[in-house]
Structure 1
Amino acid sequence: MDFLKYQLKSVEKIPTKVWADAREGSKHVAQTIALSIRQRQQEGEHIVLGLATGSSPIQVYQELVRMHKEEGLSFKNVITFNLDEYYPMKPDAQQSYVRFMREYLFDHIDIKKENIHIPDGTLPIEQVEEYCRQYDKKIEILGGIDIQLLGIGRTGHIGFNEPGSWDTSDTRLVRLDALTRRDALKDFPSEEDVPYRAMTMGIRSILKAKAIHLLAWGQHKAEVVKRAVEDEITPSIPSSFLQKHPNTRFHVDTGAAECLTKYESPWLIGICNWDDDLICKAVIWLSQKVGKPILKLTSEDYNEHGLSDLTLEYAAAYEINIKIFNRLQHTITGWPGGKPNADDSTRPERAKPAKKRVIIFSPHPDDDVISMGGTFLRLVEQGHDVHVAYQTSGNIAVHDYDALRFVEFLQEYNDSGANNGFKDELDKKYKKILKFLNNKKSDEMDIAEVRSVKGLIRRGEARAGARFCGLNEDHIHFLDLPFYETGRTRKNPVGEDDVKIIVDLMEKIKPHQVFAAGDLADPHGTHRVCLDAIFMSFEKLKEESWIKDCWLWLYRGAWHEWSTHEIEMAVPISPEQLLKKRRAIFMHQSQKDRPPFPGNDEREFWQRAEDRNRESAHIYRKLGLAEYEAIEAFRRWKF
């Protein structure tokens, strides 16, 4: 659905701009900041910026750096104050916000060092209170913050003002919420290494800024965005205090806007411009609201729940019910590659060619079986020429003790005399790896040799999973995209080298079908970058004759599932197939039980996948469709 078509009216208490994607929104915000910088330069005055860290502002900083390098934007008149810093935290630590800001902004522009202010995470605790008081005073002396950049945490925090914070709070030392610490785990070796405290600007400090831009990208931010901009002001959602600010704007993408009333149920706040997608969404919503199958909905149901204009303008309730029921029925298929010699006019996939060339792109080495393992198995069983391409090595998601176990095994195997030809050379490598792992500090990045071992562990697991699904070695591709190979959770932007690797594979196989992860709620961002690389590859290949017959299907499931009205292909999974999918996921032993980066879901990956697949089937059944054990869902991307 084109969300932007339905901005008729809103119940938002803070102006909220919805962008097609984070890149477009970030570019706009960066240009707004650049314009203000240049205006102050013309007036011979400085400008004070309040800066945020985390994933949300990264693309803003990248655009500012680009404008500095390509358009001559100078930062010599810019003074910055960062929102927060972990406590305690050394400035050169991998997770420090000093390092973050240098890496993404300060080291690439001409800002004066004396104009940079970031809370000092090394202070003795008895000095922190006075330091924080002076931090606010410095801002005040300089005339206050002109533009404040914010992100928003899933607790609703701004800065590190956690639930319970009031709008009278100044810069101070705070205790981090348990959910915030879990979300931060992606940047730390273990939960024990995540600090319990942080220094943060207070809400009162933030509200003194002349203009505020809050950024929220991704579906995992949708619920908290709604609560911040639509619900009442409350200390339990600290970002809701921004409703009091006269010049605040939220910038969100379509994922983060999903729960806003004007997109979730626009018929409740105004007359809609109905199209088939919006009608489908409304009917499903109504069916779930009243607890009836679609075919049992009555005119009274429509009238009593704000949908009377739909039945008046479009058709009678019965006709609408039939139309939407058939639409959903036609999404269901046991032939994800198309059913040969069948009428495909109402099927999600084409009947011809009967045997298709297929590429399944998997961002991490296990997303293929976690998110579409049942469909993967079915495509192979039905005789299609299936290839799987693992886009990244996934090496950071392996525990040190797993790497140590494998290295010790290899060392003992080597010591047994089975590999005398390279014994001395391998001994040197083993000793280097063992020495590093045994002395590794909590914030230390893995050396290249350790990353290689961890990558090989994940490669072996992926190969085992793909073989279990029926693939031969020549149909298993490890792309090891360069953007991922930083050794840290912070990745590089997608580049030409990444795109070329994907383009080369697609040109070699010339697929009729491509499956890719559209799971943009991935908290680590790798799915987003991997999908961008695929989109860019399709763009580069658009003039090729074969690409016109290549359909791109997006799957989800590891972190988030498609909403029912968005599903265009629903592949049923039997109990036996679900068990087989589980066994394929179990091939990824390093990700079993408790992987290094589990995200905010406490369940194991196989449990998340099965629960979501069963929930999809349950929703279909409640809408009045056939009952299945589980369903994997897909949406086609049309270029």
Structure 2
Amino acid sequence: METITNHSSIGYKPAGQFEDTRFEKIHNVIFQDSKEGSKIVAEEIAHLIKEKQNKRQSCVLGLATGSSPIKVYEELVRMHREEGLSFGNVVTFNLDEYYPMERNNVQSYHYFMHQHLFDHIDIAPENINIPDGTVPREELQEYCKRYEQAIQDAGGLDFQLLGIGRSGHIGFNEPGSHFNSVTRDITLDHITRVDAAPAFKGLENVPRKAVTMGIGTISKAKRIVLLAWGQNKSEIVRDTIEGEISAHVPATYLQEHANTTFVLDKEAASHLTRIDTPWLVRTCDWTKDLTHKAVVWLSMQKNKPILQLTDKDYNDSGMSDLLSSEQSSYELNIKTFNRLQHTITGWPGGKPHADDSNRPERAQPERKRVIIFSPHPDDDVISMGGTFDRLVAQGHEVHVAYQTSGNIAVPDHEALKIAEVANSLEKSELFTEVVQNISDKTEEEYDSKLVRKLKGNIRRAESLAATRYMGIPDSQVHFLDLPFYETGAIRKKPLGVDDIRIMNRIIEEIKPHQIYAAGDLADPHGTHRVCLEALFASLEELKSNAFMEDCWVWLYRGAWHEWETHEIEMAVPMSPAQVLRKRKAIFFHQTQKDGVMFQGEDLREFWVRAEDRNKETAQRYQSLGLASYAAMEAFVRYNFQQL
């Protein structure tokens, strides 16, 4: 690889100077979060624009859409407004567009780019190039040739910004795309359409085709930066950076580009070998946590209980330096086994009058005040219904705080059914208007405020039915309706001071000894992640208060992922009867049960996903040589006081 010039001064390690090169074939840098990484990328783009301005040259940028580049565009807009960064010499070419797609459709990339960037900077309209989703089918091939020629006539791409799809696509170059492919129309992969389904309010509404720059077009860019944020991108990032070049993962073609950098956050990088299993790459500094992770990994790799691992198992797996005269495999096995065993507790609020030195929670105070933060009005029972049940049964004062209304997840037909039932009891102008609003709405339109209010109230009623079943009074159920969510659209507003103020208020009011919150780290713009950031911001503001000194925060995972076994710090077992109680609590959320709007790629219902995941966690513990349970819910402690 060539060395990156002009850019290493603003945060990149030069290509060719990998920290570990045994597995990685593409230069990459890892940042704490997407905000930090996006700022560095925006600075590189700004640097390039200014460099071209000084030479009186045009700066030709290839731009991407989707959630990954949003913070880059926000930073570029800020630089324009606050630092005078001019885009007068910038020419842009967007990667792709759905086909067919009207420009004014809120799901179009034309709309996206103007919303997030072009409407806020001084770029000349004639310098903006976005594939046209309205070109007649018979003219599309010729149009694509003209788009390709326009890039060449502009002097080629100086800089290409990319995201990556879970299918490994860049642009809309789906699996099977050829290395020399150029701008063309393409049929979208099923995974791509599934990922887009929430924005289109259902898979059936997602276009089946798109217009995209080709792999060959992208590869001619002088500089390429690919952004990947969140845990849901971690596997495809690993496959792209470490795998063989293959048309099955089109992004692997970037291995042959001389000036490409992948910019990742910690979650997206988590499956890279040097991060996930560093002992396979280099000599390690064997901390307690890394040792624990390695022994758990070895047990799973060898398919043997931890206490049966031998010196040979360690040596054969590149972990010989972990063994020493002071630390045999036997001692390592015992330490790891005991640490895992100590995570298991049937007393998530702490066991009264017990020695808590080897328990995940404190024995005192005996009766704790607890807040369960739930991003949507069902995440509490889906993700930790068994633990919820135990906390109530063991006498703790449990509050549930639903952070968002969840109104956009209620299908129109459910809202229509409720409105028509209400109208059948007593004719009302209000419900007649609701029925009319839903009937008149097109696929491209958002719900009216009235319809959103009804849908939000439906979710509230379902939540109260579930929490009553779990045994807590309505006075301990709180609907926060954080403002960032209330746009009526899939795309939300940035987290704001009003959101944090609401979070502060409920924490200050309850003064909890325990907080449970969704610790999902997938899409950085997803509701779970934003709700978690709201909690983190609130904890930062409140941690100097005396009552916060006795507050512990436990993070659970949502319906999509579970904590890795070595990460788990509290594992709450469930009996078969508790599994059934959890299932019934989930069933009260009827609008989210059958044909749920945001199903994702997994076609199982949420209660099935939750049960399967909890059973799998219990089976993993059993396979490691620990006790056998019907199911387990897992938690990781967030030590905010140490930050």
What's the TM-score bracket when you normalise by the shorter of the two chains? over 0.9
- State the superposition RMSD in angstroms: 1.4
C-alpha deviation, 1:39, in angstroms: 2.0
Deviations 1:33-61 (A, max 9, x none): 11212222233222111111111111111
Which secondary structure does the structure 1 equivalent of 2:323 belong to? helix
Q: 1:522 to 1:50 in 2, by over 3 A?
A: closer
1:229: Cα distance to partner? Answer: 0.7
Alignment of 1:42-191 (within 5 A): 42-191=54-203
Question: What letter matches 1:545 in structure 2?
Answer: A
How big is each residue's C-alpha offset from its partner over 1:107-143, in whole Å with a ceiling of 9 and x where there is no partner?
Answer: 1222221111100000101111111111111111111
The whole-number CA distance in structure 2 between the counterparts of 1:201 and 1:314 is 59
Conservation of the 8 A alpha-carbon contact between 2:524 and 2:530: no
Q: Which residue of 2 aligns with 1:551?
A: 552
* Cα offsets for 1:131-175 (capped at 9, x unmatched): 111111111111111111111111100000000001110000000
8 Å contact 1:489–1:524 — kept in the other structure?
Answer: no
Structure 2: how far apart are the matches of 1:66 and 1:575? 54
Alpha-carbon distance in structure 2 between the residues aligned to 1:285 and 1:220: 21
2:257 to 229, 245, 262: 245
Name the SS for the 1:312 alignment partner. Answer: coil
User: Which of residues 209, 214, 221 in structure 2 aligns to 1:202?
Assistant: 214
The Cα offsets for residues 396-432 of structure 1, whole Å up to 9 and x where unpaired, read as 10110001001111111223xxxxxxxxxx41x2232
Q: Deviations over 1:330-358 (max 9, x none)?
A: 11111111111111111111111111111
Which residue type is aligned with residue 621 of structure 1?
Q
Match of 2:315 in 1: 303
Task: Specify the alignment match of 1:420 in structure 2.
Answer: none
- Does residue 361 (structure 1) correspond to residue 373 (structure 2)? The answer is yes
Please report how far the alpha carbon of residue 523 of structure 1 lies from its aligned counterpart in structure 2 after TM superposition.
8.9
1:583 corresponds to:
584
Corresponding residue number in structure 2 for 1:272: 284
Letter in 2 for 1:529: V
* Aligned partner of residue 534 in structure 1, secondary structure: helix
Q: CA deviation digits over 1:162-198, x for unaligned, max 9?
A: 0000111000000001111111101113322111100
Distance in 2 between the 1:192 and 1:555 partners? 32
Q: Structure 1 residue 384: deviation in Å? A: 0.9
Cα distance in 1 for partners of 2:609, 2:340 equals 24
Q: Would you say the 8 A contact 2:186–2:209 is kept in 1? A: yes
Letter in 2 for 1:431: T
Cα shift at 1:257: 1.3
Q: After superposition, give the CA deviation of every residue in 1:61-105 in whole Å (9 maximum; x if it has no partner).
A: 111122222222222221111100000000111210111111111
Cα distance, 1:524 vs structure 2:
7.0
Q: Distance in 1 between the 2:22 and 2:557 partners?
A: 29
SS for the counterpart of 2:35 is helix
Contact kept, 8 Å, 2:234 with 2:268, in 1: the verdict is yes
| Residue-by-residue CA offset, 1:194-224 (whole Å, 9 max, x unaligned) | 1110000000000011111111111111111
Say whether the 8 Å CA contact 2:423–2:432 is kept in structure 1: no
In the TM superposition, residue 7 of structure 1 has moved relative to its aligned partner by 5.8
Give the one of 196, 201, 205 matched to 1:193. Answer: 205
- 2:604 is paired with a residue whose SS is coil
Alignment of 1:413-424 (within 5 A): 413-415=425-427
TM alignment of 1:451-466, pairs within 5 A:
451-466=452-467
Q: CA deviation at 1:466?
A: 1.3
Which of 385, 403, 415 pairs up with 1:403? 415
Q: How does 1:493-572 map to 2 (within 5 A)?
A: 493-521=494-522, 525-572=526-573
TM-score, length-normalised on structure 2?
Answer: 0.95
Please give the per-residue CA displacement for 1:261-297, whole angstroms capped at 9, x wherever unaligned: 1122111121111111111111111111111100011
**Amino acid in structure 1 at the alignment position of 2:466:** G
1:13 equivalenced with 2:25 (yes/no): yes
Letter of the structure 2 residue corresponding to residue 373 of structure 1: G
How many Å separate the matches in 2 of 1:360 and 1:204? Answer: 50
Deviation at 1:439, TM superposition (A): 2.3
Q: Distance in 2 between matches of 1:90 and 1:341?
A: 67
| Contact persistence 1:374–1:578 (CA under 8 A) | yes
In structure 1, the residue matched to 2:304 is 292
Aligned pair count reads 623
Separation of aligned partners in 1, 2:61 and 2:20: 34
Q: CA deviation at 1:313?
A: 7.4
SS state of the match for residue 229, structure 1?
Answer: helix
Q: How far apart are the structure 1 equivalents of 2:258 and 2:228?
A: 19
Bigger shift: residues 577-586 or 72-81 = 72-81
CA contact (8 A) 1:8 1:272 kept: no
Pick closer, same or farther for the CA change 1:31–1:185 going to 2, 3 Å: same
On the 8 A contact 1:186/1:524 being kept in 2, the answer is: no
Structure 2 residues without counterparts, runs of 5 or longer: 1-17
Alignment of 1:234 onto 2:246: yes
Distance 1:277 1:233, change over 3 A: same
Partner of 2:36: 24
Asked if the contact 1:522–1:559 (Cα under 8 Å) also holds between the matched residues in 2, the reply is no
Q: Do structure 1's residue 573 and structure 2's residue 585 form an aligned pair?
A: no
Distance 1:457 1:408 in 2: 14
Counterpart code for 2:632: I
Q: Which residue of 1 aligns with 2:607?
A: 606
Is the Cα contact below 8 Å between 1:9 and 1:262 reproduced in 2?
no
CA distance in 1, matches of 2:385, 2:75: 38
Residues 288-312 of structure 1 show CA distances to partners (whole Å, capped at 9, x for unaligned) of: 1111100011111111111111113
| Match of residue 391 from structure 2 | 379
Shift of 1:314: 6.2
Q: Read off the aligned partner of 1:398 and give its amino acid letter.
A: V
Is the partner of 1:48 in helix, strand or coil? strand
> Aligned residue for 2:13?
none
Q: Secondary structure at the match of 1:126?
A: helix
**Partner of 1:430: helix, strand, or coil?**
helix
Letter in 1 for 2:446: M
1:259 matches 2:271 = yes
Q: Equivalent residue for 2:445?
A: 444
Query: Which residue in 2 is equivalent to 1:418?
Result: none
Report the more deviating stretch, 515-524 or 66-75: 515-524
Q: Which amino acid aligns with 1:510?
A: K
More divergent stretch after superposition (399-408 vs 519-528): 519-528
1:238-261 Cα distance to aligned partner (Å, 9 max, x none): 000000100101111121112211
* Map 1:30-41 → 2, pairs under 5 A: 30-41=42-53
Question: C-alpha distance in 1, partners of 2:523/2:586?
Answer: 18
Residues 347-376 of structure 1 show CA distances to partners (whole Å, capped at 9, x for unaligned) of: 111111111111100001100000001001
Which residue of structure 2 lines up, in the alignment, with residue 423 of structure 1?
none
**What is the match of residue 282 of structure 1?**
294
SS class of match (1:315): coil
**Could you tell me whether the CA contact under 8 Å between 1:10 and 1:261 is conserved in 2?**
no
CA distance in 2, matches of 1:280, 1:21: 25
Note the alpha carbon deviations across 1:545-573, whole angstroms, 9 max, x for none.
11122111110041100000100010111
Instruction: Check the 8 A contact 1:84/1:200 in 2, yes or no.
Output: yes
